[in-house]
Amino acid sequence: MSSSRSSLAFLGAAAGLAGIVAALYTYRGAFHTAEASATDPAPPPLAAPVPEKIEANSKPSKADEPQDPEAALANAGIGAMTTDPADLLAKIGNALEAGDLAAAGKLIGSDALTPEARKRLAALASHGGVKLKRPDAVQEVGELSLNRKARWALWLDGAETGRDRIFFDLERKDGQWSIESLVLPPGASEPVPKAVIVDSLGIADAFLQATLRQDFERAKEFADSATVTDAKIAGLCILFEEGKYRLRPEKPLRSIYQQTATCGYLANVETTEGANAAEFSMVLAQTGKNDWRVSDLNLDKLLADYASRVAGGDVYFTPLVKNPRGGDTLVLYFGFDEDELSPRTARQLEIVGHILKTDAGKKLTLSGHTDALGTEQYNNGLSARRAATVKRYLVESGVSKDQIITLAEGQSQPRRPNFTESGGDNPDGRRANRRTEIYLDF
């Protein structure tokens, strides 16, 4: 009994002690709260958010105001350096397309952004913005100096020829490429020049772009007519069209040599499927101050590639041959004992017809030929019909009949032997002899 009373007394004392401790902690917390309130102002009560009211005629704040385009390009800095020019051009293009001129300027650099360049780039960005031709907006144009200087371009979408590219010249130092200069296309109110850039690389590129578009007249403006025949230019147009060639993305124009008044380039092309790369050489000569012209074209390797892919491996079955009397000649081929055009020869004549229609004063000579099978009299008639077929097609295409002279040569002027040395038949030789030649050297 006494032990139970002792236990109850102990529990009561413990409970009383716990109550005292709790009271002390409550008093201490209240004291500290009061002390803090005396020194620190109470935080304001949380208010419900109020929707922002925008007046109809209110002006944007300074932070929202569009920055002046030229001002955005003014503090460009030293420009970016990279081991990959294509990546640098892609970033510049993305910045321009997004309207972020400040970012584009920092990638280009202040050395390249001369006052004139800033003005033109700002104007281009202001008039509807910059829209790139996707997906192949970035283009390598070619080398200005072997492994040291190169030219790249950004293609603009929807722009006419001559206003469709921004050119960038890059320089390589210690393995890093940076923008050295840029050339903007002419403005909407300015005339389009024959070539935006008139140095040797600019003229070589302009010539190739014209032939790729089958623009004979424009291509001819960039060539020296004394050394590069009309037939060779037309032949290159036909080769590009029939061979389905395009400039190779990597090093399309490779510098061979650079001299004061003459330069050599290797033009690299591939098929539109991206295979079977071929090449041909170009020589450019300076005929006056800032006046470069294509002075020579060696198409042998391109013709060989064309023959292997398009002409069934027959190197003599090509649309461009040397004229024994000098210059170059376009050639259309016919089947055995046939005097009608194939779809292939008709397409070639479309190009020739376009050339003739640009100048009613131009004349050409069509000479029909046959192989040696059949009588001489029959072959004379067959060769006349072949020449007449070509003339009729051109006249129906809009060429004046007064511009065309026809000749019937029969079997008298074979290009390849009709028979082997042992007297046997030579089908490959006869195939090359069944033709109509087109003399385009006006």
At which of 311, 336, 357 does a domain end?
311
The reported pLDDT for the residue numbered 358 is 67
Count the residues in the chain: 442
CA-based nearest residue to 296, from 261, 265, 257:
265
Number of separate domains in the chain: 3
80 and 156 together in one domain: yes
The CA-to-CA distance between both ends of the chain, in Å, stands at: 142
Say if 35 falls within a structural domain. Answer: no
Band of pLDDT at residue 315, cut at 50, 70 and 90: low
Q: Is 190 exposed, middle or buried (0-12, 13-18, 19+ CB in 10 A)?
A: exposed
| CATH number, domain containing residue 237 | 3.10.450.100
- Claim to verify: residue 301 and residue 363 sit in the same structural domain: no
Is 5 part of any domain?
no
Report pLDDT for 316: 63
Same domain for 208 and 88: no
Q: Does residue 179 share a domain with residue 100? A: yes
* Domain match, 78 and 177 both: yes
Taking the whole predicted model, whether its pTM rises above 0.85 is answered as no
| DSSP structure string for 166-230 | EEEEEEEETTEEEEEEEEPPPPTTSPPPS-SS-SHHHHHHHHHHHHHTT-HHHHHHTB-TTTS-H
Using the predicted structure, report yes or no on whether residue 350 has a pLDDT greater than 60.
Answer: yes
d(CA 371, CA 28): 122
Residue 84 lies in a domain: yes
Q: Is the pLDDT score of 36 beyond 70?
A: no
Single-letter amino acid code for the residue at 82: T
What is the chain's mean pLDDT, rounded?
Answer: 83
For 103, what's the count of Cα atoms within 13 Å in the CB-facing half-sphere? 13
Q: Residue 175 sits in a domain of what CATH number? A: 3.10.450
Express each pLDDT in 230-281 by its tens digit: 889 989 998 898 888 999 999 999 999 999 999 999 999 998 777 778 999 9
Any domain includes 18: no
Q: Are residues 152 and 246 in the same domain?
A: no
Same domain? 219 vs 256: yes
The range of the structural domain enclosing residue 435 comes to 316-442
